[in-house]
Amino acid sequence: MPINLPIALTWLRIAMIPLIVALFYLPEHWLSMPMRDAVAAAAFIVAALTDWFDGWLARRWNQTSSFGAFLDPVADKLMVCAALLILLNLGRVDSFIALIIIGREITISALREWMAKIGASGSVAVHRLGKFKTATQMVAIPCLLYWQPLYGLSLQLLGQILIVIAAILTVWSMCYYLRRAWPEIRNKSDQQQA
């Protein structure tokens, strides 16, 4: 397993997940709810920024690796799913939206694994639609974690609008990847039947 700064940042993002979750189990006399929400939102933002920064560094310093390419999306999915479960528990996100987003992540991860196994991973390579979906989630989630107005702006409302947009983009990007993979799936199926 290669160790370099981009991979270390990805590991840091994974390590931050239990810390963010633990904030919501602290007694209120240790940390008030508004402070807890602010710290959780800030930690999520830092983790999301490491996602952008580790990829940028890996490309800039030519430190890309197959392990890093595997670990980075795993860290993203763990981070988003953990945050959605927290928000679901707090009643700040609808269970249907959480199910759509988490279900899509599992489906596309399984699809990419299978496509790599049959040598067709290029057909489900990351597309800008998936990146836009991720960016929308990464803005919506801290808004929903923070849940308080900020400089007169209702982050609660903004987060709720953005998470619905993220859910729509989630379905759209899933359909895009499935459509791209379908010819390879059909070819493989035809070869097995022949």
Distance CA 169, CA 35 (A): 31
CATH of 5-193, one of 3.30.70.20, 1.20.120.1760, 1.10.3720.10, 3.40.50.720: 1.20.120.1760
Please give the C-alpha separations between residue 131 and each of 25, 76, 89, 151, 153, in angstroms, as whole numbers: 32, 12, 27, 28, 26
- pLDDT surpasses 70 at 22: yes
pLDDT tens digits for range 79-137: 999 999 999 999 999 999 999 999 998 988 888 887 777 777 666 777 788 888 889 99
In the chain, domain spans: 5-193
Number of H helices, E strands in the chain: 6, 2
Closest CA relative to residue 137, chosen from 95, 71, 77: 77
Mean pLDDT of the chain: 86
- Name the residue with tokens 């939102």: 41
CB-based contact 149:41 (threshold 8 Å): no
